[in-house]
A and B are shown apart, each in its own frame.
Chain A
Amino acid sequence: MSTPLYSIPGSTPAASAAEPAPTTCATSGARTVGEVLAQSQVDAVIEELDHDLVGLAPVKTRIRDIAALLVIDKLRTNLGLQAQAPSLHMSFTGNPGTGKTTVALRMAQILFRLGYVRKGHLVAVTRDDLVGQYIGHTAPKTKEVLKRAMGGVLFIDEAYYLYRPENERDYGQEAIEILLQVMENQRDDLVVILAGYKERMDTFFRSNPGMSSRIAHHLEFPDYSAAELLAIGERLLKQQNYRFAPGAREAFAEYLERRLHQPHFANARSVRNALDRARLRQASRLFADRNRPFTAEDLSSINDADIRASRVFQGGPVTSSP
């Protein structure tokens, strides 16, 4: 009795169901790689990635490969060669400050432009967002997060915290199981990216072989070299409309040389913090000059002295640098 006895003018529901839903990027009919690229503008994203992010050569190569696979898949689909949607769950491993979150954001955009995810948003979560505090709390919490991430990318930062081997009643395991289920069954609804430090992630994958086998792409983020860090520093300053005064660039290079060998060095994050502190010193240097009118030049240049006042320089000169 669930179907009505009267007839509806126009189409029957069966016909409208067969009609394919409109996709995010209209790449139907494309025959060459160039056409797909032109329609999806993925070229622009990759170029941006190359341009905006310093270093990270292995990561960029892998992203290129993934993009190439997705483009070729599009071409195959257009010719009626159906292939199963590739599994795109990834793990990003690397030391702090190597750009894992930044790349994840870009990844969401690339996948969106290629029409692999429908919305292209990134939901960044940690253990706290997934794991509950009492029995029966974890499943709804994890499902809520997964629902929010549908159509986009779920980025789980420090994913190894999900699994705590020392406590066998830990609810993290439950969250992992729900994650695994969704990663397997709703592959075209969301992409999961796990991120964390190398050693801990290795332990995590070793103790959760199911998780490891469901992740197709393991990307390793290398540490930056001193030259790359300097380039990152300059770029950061430029973004905030600051620049190095003559001599300051060399001072900063020297600073990095020293800082690299000290404990708790967090790559790009340390660079950003160092520059933030240099800006503080610049501000108080200018603040002391009560009666001087400042030019834009004065207000936007970081001096040699602003950088050399750092605590890093107090340990005496490094033998390797002049």
Chain B
Amino acid sequence: MMTNTGNRLTQGQFAFLPDLTDAQITAQIEYALKHNWAVGVEYTDDPHPRNTYWEMFGNPMFDLTDAAGILAEIQSCRKTFPNHYVRVTAFDSTRGWETPRMSFIVNRPTKEPGFGLARQESDGRSLRYRISSYATDRPEGERY
């Protein structure tokens, strides 16, 4: 079984691998562009798995042919939010798909405290579980 030591956030593709290098990110984006997917850069400091909609950095990038422009956008997002999670999504607008086809994290905070599990007793003998990131106890913008 794959275990996730070190509390690394594992969402999207390649999350169990070491951080992608810029060359690897470029290759992934090239793959997305080859399929005519619109690539977007998103960031958040609330990494709860159900927090699907991250804030978009800049506009979604349609009609691009080369990854260099997107990489520049990623760099500028990293510079603006060095301690946020930043991910790259590739949206497929083909009829029937209309959904992100790729999504991977390209930047993460230096310290990731991980998630805590809370149990709540409810009716009868049943238990409700809830997870929350230790970081989200603090207000937005001061979390990492």
Give chain A's interface residues, CB within 8 Å of chain B.
1-6, 8, 12-13, 16-17, 19, 21, 118-119, 121, 140, 144, 146-148, 150-152, 186, 189-190
Contacts and interface: CB of A to CB of B under 8 A. Distances in A.
A21 B19 contact: no
B65 A17 contact: no
4 closest residue pairs by CB, A with B: A151-B66, A147-B69, A150-B68, A150-B66
Contacts of A144: 59
Interface of B: 3-8, 16-24, 26-27, 58-59, 61, 63-70, 72-73, 108, 110-112
B106 to A, nearest CB: 12
B26 A21 contact: yes
A5 B5 CA distance: 6
A6 B64 contact: no
B66 A16 contact: no
Q: Is the interface of A mostly helix, strand, loop or mixed?
A: loop
Given A21-B26, A119-B65, A189-B66, A3 B59 contact: no
Contact of A147 (B18, B19, B21, B73): B73
Contacts of A13: 18-21, 24
11 contacts: A2-B108, A3-B19, A4-B4, A4-B5, A16-B24, A19-B23, A140-B59, A150-B69, A151-B65, A152-B66, A190-B68
Contacts of B3: 6
B68 A16 contact: no
Contacts of B20: 13
Contacts of B4: 4
B65 A21 contact: no
A216 B67 CA distance: 26
B65 A189 contact: no
B21 A148 contact: no
Contact of A2 (B16, B27, B68, B110): B110
A8 B15 CA distance: 12
Contact of B61 (A2, A6, A147): A147
A148 B69 contact: yes
A1 B6 contact: yes
A17 B21 contact: yes
Given A4-B18, A5-B5, A17 B23 contact: yes
Given A2-B108, A16-B23, A16-B24, A148 B63 contact: yes
A4 B5 CA distance: 7
Nearest to A144: B59
Given A1-B6, A1-B111, A2-B112, 7 more contacts: A1-B7, A4-B5, A17-B22, A21-B23, A148-B69, A152-B66, A189-B66
Contacts of A19: 23
Contact of A3 (B7, B18, B68): B18
User: Which of B69, B73, B108 has the largest number of chain A CB atoms within 10 A?
Assistant: B69
Contacts of B26: 21
A225 to B, nearest CB: 38
A16 B14 CA distance: 15
A4 B110 CA distance: 12
Which of B17, B59, B72 has the largest count of A CB atoms less than 10 A from its CB?
B72
B21 A119 contact: no
A9 to B, nearest CB: 11
A16 B18 CA distance: 12
B58 to A, nearest CB: 8
B17 A147 contact: no
